[in-house]
Structure 1
Amino acid sequence: MMTPNELRQRFLQFFEERDHRVVASSPVVPQADPTLLFTNAGMNQFKDLLLGNETRDYTRAASVQKCVRAGGKHNDLDEVGRDGRHLTFFEMLGNWSFGDYYKRESIKWAWKFVLEELKLAPERLYVTIYKDDDECFDIWTQEMGLDPARVLRLGDIEAGDEENFWSMGPTGPCGPCTEIHYDLHPEYGPMTFGVGYDEDRINEIWNLVFMEFNRDEDGTLNPLPMKSVDTGLGLDRAAMVVAGRDNVFHTDLFTPIFQSLFELLGQDVGRDLDAFYKSDNFTDYAVIADHVRTVTFAICDGAKFANDGRGYVLRRILRRAVRHGRNLGFDAPFLHRVAAAVVEAYGDIYPELRATGQEAAELIRLEEERFFRNLDRGLELFEDAAARAESEGKKTLSGQEVFQLHATFGFPPDLTEIMAEERGMSIDWESYESLWKEHQETSRGKDMYADAAGVGDWETLEEGPANTFVGYGTLETHTTLRKVRRLPENRFEVLLASTPFYAESGGQVGDRGQLLGHGGELVLEVEDVQKAPIGITHRVRLVTGEPDFTGEFIARVDPRHRQKVACNHTATHLLHAALRDEVDNAIFQAGSMVGPDRLRFDFSYGKPLSADDIQRLEERVNGLIRQRLDVTCHTEVDRDTAVDEMGAMAIFGEKYGDKVRVVEIPGESVELCGGTHVANTGEIALFRITSESSVAAGIRRIEALTEEGALKAFQQERAQLRTLAEIFKSDVTNLNERARAVLEDRSRLEREVDSLSQKLASRGADTLVDDAAEVDGVKVIATAVATGTRDQLMAYADNLREKLGQTEAVALLASEIEGKAALICVVTDAAFKARKVKAGDLIKRVASHVDGRGGGRPTLAQAGGQNPAGIPAAVEAFEGAVQDALS
């Protein structure tokens, strides 16, 4: 029987023998495609090829693509564990034609592969096609010899039914498709293959998409410049049918993960798997196995946990897995340990897992710990809410309760729904979604061009690739423009035949500079440079001249911008090495930003750095700068050689090919890095840390300056010290002692002021008691007083209470303190006992006049308000409040 690893390799070999270029999988975190949450199909990396915006030196391709379907149009998250065929992470075996072969060849080769390579029985195979695809029907029935009764027509996009019409998302390439299905249970007897067939029995394994259209935002289908083929054979499902199973989790792809869970739970690793598959809690194992694959692959490809977008989906997936782990008995973080089994199982196929798997496991552990801290409290609150609803005869949890569990304790609503279903309850989705939408609106950001009108289509000026970077060796080159498209505000995006401009990558910002055309008459300011599937894109602004993009251009990088960025980038390598040597050798880089004006470096560490740590880091880095160490860039190094022999560190979240670039600072740092660097550490001149803070659980951030920026920071601080010295009437040398003496004098004066205020309050209290009004035999005092602090106001109230003694009396003191209203109500013990008057009730009556609220004990209550102008009204209303309380 063919193993999953053999199946993967045999697929690629099959199509390579048919002149297909084998192409590596792209990351599951999409590169430069804002329309996608995750890479959800093999065709994502070929989008511009299918649209006709790009050409390559091949027209046929094959790959094994890592895919995640857990959001957007293609979202299988809620189905995982409920059936035996859906996954959030899977591998898609695919073959493509870009304007080459079409329906006939793709169907013929797919049929040959399933019959001769997978050795599937033809009597167990069925096919679906789009409703009016007669060409496809004839190929299947007349050329492949398939019984017409085994071919089913589905779909009607005009009616909103997109069965057998595939699209990557709401916009983009799309077209009709034909699907190959497999009968998992022929022993159930004959069946009619028609609308409403049992999908648990007849399972789709391969989809052949015929890309003919490009769907725009209003749903219009525009013909593509060429007809292409995009096929997808799910490895998990193919492995399932080859193994004679009816559940994707019953294959060798998941066995190592299950065995890892067995070991962590103290169970027999060699237990009978067939019996295990039938166990009551198998669903819990399956959900965990699927989810840990998804999270591990996504984190290793650079994704991060967050409160929105892709990061929120990952957080949701992890928390679902944790909850199922609780069902199995895990009461502490465990997924990070299972992630190691994923790395071990897939590391030889996807080297990025081995390169960054340890760092990914650490981020998973930190996220787990964060959720476990809230998990017990969240479960407790859910049980309370469910019990309360049941006691009231309700079968629905309110949207407010579901929202509270989500917003406060991180419970994704689908988790709450599952727990509710286990108790025979549902949740109020409409109310929840309204609350969540309102919550999201408060923090929603917008890309500056995301919704901009006037973004044109790409115009091709000349054919050829547009991803040739020559900027390591030169800052200026002669080139031509290959593609251009218009942006708003007299801006354009352009692709060049070759470019010296570094595109933003690895945390380093893109170069800036100019494109000069037509003898310098046309000047384009290069504002940003990005990598995209179509090529290296330059966002430019028209400065002078007419936008004629033909002919030769001079591409000129701003040398000062490049130099400042290079200083900051090399400094991050020195800082990384210093952190590991001076603070903790287990620290790893978790992100960075390198610009011309500053650098930002994120790293794994569980506590703030001390002042001594920061000083040691600065001294270490500046010492290396003074040593003027050469910085060597090794190019085209075999990745295994770089890591295993040179000891190069792979930076977490970065993507590396088989050949890598290694940046070495002898004796200090060896890292895989594609960025630009100084030739010698002495060029950095100076290094200065400006801040150290937390950015996430277990992740710290250092911000720093180098070269001219660091010097300016020191100069600014020196100027500030001189200004402070002048204010304190001192010189800089003696500033500390002078400032300490001034603060001591201030503390002494504040104590004296408080003492005088209490004496004045005592005298004022005598006057207030003498002038008190009387309501039904109770003395009533209500007045505004001048105090500087709440402590002074409280001292005034204490003096007044002492003067009132055992009389039946109530009093309200009001004062404006730091621009806000402060109220204190005093009720003597005699008034409370004899008249049942409560200070809290009285102050609530008058606090509204100052736009505030209050409360307290029966004999003493306080209130604060934002409207000090309402103090006179509060004082005036107090006597009426007392009358009402006594009546």
Structure 2
Amino acid sequence: MKSRDIRKQFLDFFEAKGHLIVPSAPIVTKDDPTLMFNNSGMAQFKEFFLGNGTPKSRRIADTQKCLRVSGKHNDLEEVGIDTYHHTMFEMLGNWSFGDYFKKEAIHWAWELLTEVYKIPKDILYVTVFEGSMEENVPFDQEAWDIWKGLIGEERMLLGNKKDNFWEMGEQGPCGPCSEIHVDIRSSEEKAKIPGKELVNRDHPQVVEIWNNVFMEFNRRADGSLEKLPARHVDTGMGFERLCMVLQGVQSNYDTDVFSPLIQKIESITGATYTIKAANDSEEKINIAIRVIADHVRAVAFSIADGQLPSNGGAGYVIRRILRRAIRYGFTFLNKKEPFINELVAVLADQMGDFFPEIRTQQSLVTNVIKEEETSFLRTLEQGLQLLENIITEAKDKTVSGQKAFELYDTFGFPIDLTALILRERGLNLDEAGFEAAMQEQKSRSRAASEVSTDDWTILAEGAGETFVGYDQTENEVKITRYRKVDSKKDGLLYQIVLDNTPFYPEGGGQVGDKGVLVSANDTIEIIDTKKENNLILHMAKKLPSNINATFTARVNEKLRSDSASNHSATHLLHQALRIILGTHVEQKGSLVSPNYLRFDFSHFAKVTDEELKQVEDFVNERIQEHLPLVERRNIPFRQAVEEGAMALFGEKYGDTVRAIRFGDSIELCGGIHVRNTADIWYFKIVSESAVAAGIRRIEAITDEAVKEYFAKQEQALGEINSILKNPQDTIKAVVSLQDENAKLKKQLEQLLKDKAKNLRNELAKELKEINGVQFLAKQVDLDPAGAKDLAYELGSLDTNLFIVLATAAEGKPMLTCYISKELVAGKGLNAGQVVRELGKYIQGGGGGQPFFATAGGKDVNGINEALGAAVEFIK
């Protein structure tokens, strides 16, 4: 059975049981600050479990793209080493929100597995929660009795809290679960050890495939449990593992989910994937191929959903996954050039029907991965050079763990590659020192991100407040709930929920509103507004003295107005780019703040100055047309798109949406906008740059910020005119000054060259013969470029020269080494090694070619010692 048929049968089965089939949420989370990625099927439904929202149906089924490489669920280092852990995986799930419970969930799971998929009953096992005295939660008798009638006690096991009590996090909905495990070992292996003894023992062929979670408790901040007002079912079945079982293979990687990728890797690299490795060498190749086949899925879908690789947050996680794949290809498949990007086409063909984003974004994903590969392969080359420096400093054949950590942390050079190279060179790695440095960094990171969150104090029940901020910036409100949150990053804050609010919560790129809550006795400053699990959270540093008072919620109108101006300009900018550059342009990220706007978009080349001017002019023409805002709320998503509204990739839209229109610009948007484009006043682009392969970034300003910009430009021009003695034509005066400077620069270069030639004749007299080599080590009064010219001038005099010159221009020491090529070949001398050694005396280092190399440093006082040590190389 093909994987696409397996997926379809699951969804068809639950649709027939009255479930609404919904699409996968993006793999990258947008409105949940507690998660970087969707790490489980239930993540997109958290608000329903928490009671903060109402689902479209009380029965839902889907397949969710999940990523588990950070936080509590971190499988990254196991991926590829075994055959059943993955970074990205699909989670097939069926959900009941206060509807059916254990009986239906268990019976349907059994029916689907044994009657539809026809998995033999005698290879299945189930686990049931044994209960917990410390939690005061009893043994799950109900689930036991249901399963007993279906599978029999001989195939049932009790599970402890670790294995059979599922929790969303440290706080929140939770409950006992019942897992279904499958034993796909051979008959001979089963005869040796019963499958029951291998359940939950990390055996690669005795694995969990389905988990039925019965949500009936809420975990409070103090660790206690309380009953939820309604009971829910949250299930998850590992799609890749299910395919392994139904396709009769022994590994997820042997299914058609991965085999097309593996075949492509074999074709590109010439390596062969063997189902059962015969030796250590074959197994290393197998692991590398599994790592690459797995990781490209995670990276490609994350980029398609809008998360680019970067140096922080979720982007860093994606970069780390990709670099791990590149490193395995570099080390074990001997691939020194980009190739992983070529696998995106296979993914698009394989999964594009069900996940159209990978096909639509194929070109972008390919380009981004290729540039990341190119960049990291350069990093690996630089790392190898730096590692050579570290090796030369090693004492007692042991490389410092701290130095290895710096190489890993600063340059991204993988520690396992460092260890591999050292072993090949007969050296040891101070692993304890490396681990200590790693733990110290992790401790700093944990300390910086520690958050303590209290339970909600509920003043009035409700599923979240009404947002009235589209129509007003001030309203009478009551506090319905609040809680205290203490973190190292933000300090002590209170999160306040209101019965209605004019405050816009951060979302869609726009920052959250600021303002105040005012009562008869208090003025509480709201420093930010965010949204979490369908609740709008107003951040304050203190609570009012009377929490039950009626307040006036008042938004800071100046900041709101500036944000609105920038947000509306962002829409016009998007329209301009698509018209001027082409319809391939798509938004890939944005930031709308009161101070400026930032817009990331897909485009294959630098935007020229002429194109930028056209874009700027286009937006300003729309501003001058005084286009009114046409806003439509709560219209069906499909209708809005059919009418021309632009939906953004990576965003999750509901059944009804809000459409914003200025003239011909129509976009789906929940943000705050001006009433008329005239309110923007003027649009000015201040920068254009690259973010990643195929992604450009424009930063721009509007309204008051433009007025300030023009004022500063005028002031700067005035100062320039003053310096130039107020010329009639400022531009002509500057050009004349540049021409004069260029002429003087050429004259200076010529003088320095003449000086080098003169010095050549003087220094030629100072050459000393040592062991048949003409030797000179001397400090000269030149800049580094002059020292290079001088070295080559001297080099033209003889074929057995060994020269080290030192300079200290502007207080920066530099060593220049020249060795005749005949000496390099005949005596094995290497200028690169010479400057690396001598560079230590000036607290620096460097490198170059065997016949010419340079080293910079920090300590000019070490020059004499370095020059004195140079002779040791030929003594």
Within the candidate set 709, 715, 719, 1:713 is matched to: 709
Equivalent of residue 681 in structure 1, options 657, 677, 680? 677
The 5 Å alignment of 1:232-631 reads: 232-234=235-237, 236=239, 240=243, 245=248, 294-307=298-311, 309-315=313-319, 333-341=341-349, 344-347=352-355, 353=356, 358-359=360-361, 361-371=363-373, 430=431, 434=435, 437=438, 450-451=449-450, 455-487=453-485, 491-517=493-519, 519=520, 521-542=521-542, 546-631=544-629
Name the SS of the counterpart of 1:493 in structure 2: strand
1:832-877 per-residue CA deviation (whole Å, 9 max, x = no partner) reads xxxxx99999999998776567999999998765344677xx39x9
Question: Which residue pairs with 2:94 in the alignment?
Answer: 94
Give yes or no for contact 2:691–2:697 (8 Å, CA) kept in 1. yes
| 1:393 counterpart residue number | none
Deviations 1:761-807 (A, max 9, x none): 9999999999999x9xxx9999988x6855678899999x99xx99x
2:140 pairs with 1:148: no
Q: Give the structure 1 partner of residue 632 of structure 2.
A: 634
3-state SS of paired residue (1:671): strand
Classify 1:415/1:127 alpha carbon distance in 2 versus 1 (closer, same or farther; 3 Å).
farther
Specify the alignment match of 1:272 in structure 2: none
Number of the residue aligned with 2:280: none
Partner of 1:742: 737
Distance 1:861 1:140 in 2: 75
Aligned residue type for 1:502: Y
CA deviations over 1:616-646 (Å, ceiling 9, x no partner): 2222222222122233223233323332x32
Query: Aligned with 2:570: secondary structure?
Result: helix
Displacement of 1:596 in angstroms is 0.8
> 1:293-336 CA distances to partner (integer Å, 9 max, x unpaired)?
54454344433323455334434555677878998999574333
Matched residue, 2:210:
206
> Structure 1 residues 216 and 843 mapped into 2: Cα distance closer, same or farther (>3 Å)?
same
Q: 1:187 to 1:292 in 2, by over 3 A?
A: same
How big is the shift at 1:886? 11
**1:151 is matched by which residue type in structure 2?**
M
Q: Deviations over 1:234-256 (max 9, x none)?
A: 162796499574578699x957x
Structure 2: unaligned runs, 5 residues or longer: 133-137, 269-274, 276-282, 392-397, 821-828
Which residue of the partner structure matches residue 833 of structure 1? none
Quote the offset at 1:671 in angstroms.
2.0
8 Å Cα contact 1:839/1:859 also seen in 2: yes
CA gap 1:665/1:193 in 2 versus in 1, 3 angstroms: same
Identify if the C-alpha distance between structure 1 residues 885 and 528 changes in structure 2 by more than 3 Å, giving closer, same or farther.
Answer: closer
Change (3 A) 1:551 1:286: same
Give how far 1:374 is off: 6.2
What is the DSSP-based 3-state SS (H/G/I as helix, E as strand, rest coil) of the residue aligned with 1:818? helix
Aligned to 2:611, what secondary structure does the other structure show?
helix
- 1:613, 1:582 → 2: CA distance? 7
SS of corresponding position for 1:503: coil
Cα drift, residue 883 of structure 1:
10
Q: Which moved more, 1:501-510 or 1:749-758?
A: 749-758
What's 1:271 paired with? none
1:782–1:813 CA contact under 8 A, matched in 2: yes
Residue type of the partner of 1:516? V
SS of 1:651's equivalent? coil
**Structure 1 residues 738, 470: CA separation in 2 closer, same or farther (over 3 Å shift)?**
same
In the alignment, the residues of structure 2 paired with residue 782 and residue 121 of structure 1 have an alpha-carbon distance, to the nearest angstrom, of: 82
User: Could you tell me which residue of structure 2 aligns to residue 699 of structure 1?
Assistant: 695
The answer on whether the counterparts of 2:83 and 2:253 sit within 8 Å (CA) in structure 1 is no
Given residue 734 of structure 2, which amino acid in structure 1 is its aligned partner? Answer: A
The Cα offsets for residues 68-95 of structure 1, whole Å up to 9 and x where unpaired, read as 2431443556456954796831133133
Aligned match of 1:350: none
Supply the distance in 2 between the matched residues of 1:228 and 1:144 (Cα, whole angstroms).
22
1:208 is displaced (CA, Å) by: 2.5
What amino acid is the match of 1:614?
Answer: L
- Shift in Å at residue 724 of structure 1? 0.8
Pair 1:819 & 2:811 matched: yes
Is 1:335–1:368's contact at 8 Å kept on the other side of the alignment? no
Q: Which has the larger radius of gyration?
A: 1
Residue in structure 2 matched with residue 129 of structure 1 by the alignment:
128
Tell me if the contact between 2:128 and 2:144 (Cα under 8 Å) persists in the aligned partners: no
How far apart are residue 126 of structure 1 and its match? 2.8
Indicate the SS of the match to 2:466: coil
Matched letter for residue 156 of structure 2: V
Q: 1:292 to 1:558 in 2, by over 3 A?
A: same
Given that residues 631 and 679 in structure 1 are in contact (C-alpha distance below 8 angstroms), is that contact kept between their aligned partners in structure 2?
yes
Quickly say closer, same or farther: Cα 1:408–1:823, change in 2 above 3 A. closer
Check the 8 A contact 1:69/1:75 in 2, yes or no.
no
The question of whether the paired residues in 2 share the 8 Å contact of 1:258 and 1:285 is answered with no
* One-letter code aligned to 1:5: K
What SS class does the counterpart of residue 314 from structure 2 fall into?
Answer: helix
**Which aligned pairs between 1:19-58 and structure 2 lie closer than 5 A?**
26-47=25-46, 54=52
Is the partner of 1:163 in helix, strand or coil? Answer: helix
CA deviation string 1:465-491 (max 9, x = no partner): 215322222222222222111245664
Whole-Å separation in 2 of the counterparts to 1:484 and 1:646: 41
SS of equivalent to 2:509? coil
SS in 1 for 2:525: strand
1:262-282 deviation per Cα after TM superposition (whole angstroms, max 9, x unaligned): 999999xxxxxxx9xxxx999
Distance 1:811 1:119 in 2: 80
Equivalences for residues 761-800 of structure 1 within 5 A: 789=783
Q: Does 1:690 align with 2:681?
A: no
Of 756-765 and 733-742, deviating more is 756-765
* Distance change >3 Å, CA 491–CA 857, structure 1 → 2: closer
Question: 2:661 maps to what in 1?
Answer: 664
Q: Which amino acid letter does the alignment assign opposite residue 38 of structure 1?
A: F
AA partner of residue 629 (structure 1) = L
Counterpart in the other structure of 1:70: 68
Change (3 A) 1:744 1:530: same
Deviations 1:212-236 (A, max 9, x none): 766789xx85223438554324162
Give the aligned CA root-mean-square deviation in angstroms. Answer: 6.1
Q: Letter of the aligned partner of 2:29 in structure 1?
A: P
Structure 1: how far apart are the matches of 2:804 and 2:251? 74
Per mean C-alpha deviation after superposition, the further-off stretch among 587-596 and 199-208 is 199-208
Q: Is the 8 A contact 1:336 1:364 kept in 2?
A: yes
- Which position in structure 2 is the counterpart of 1:177? 177
- Over 3 Å counting, the alpha-carbon distance change for 1:419 and 1:76 in structure 2 is farther
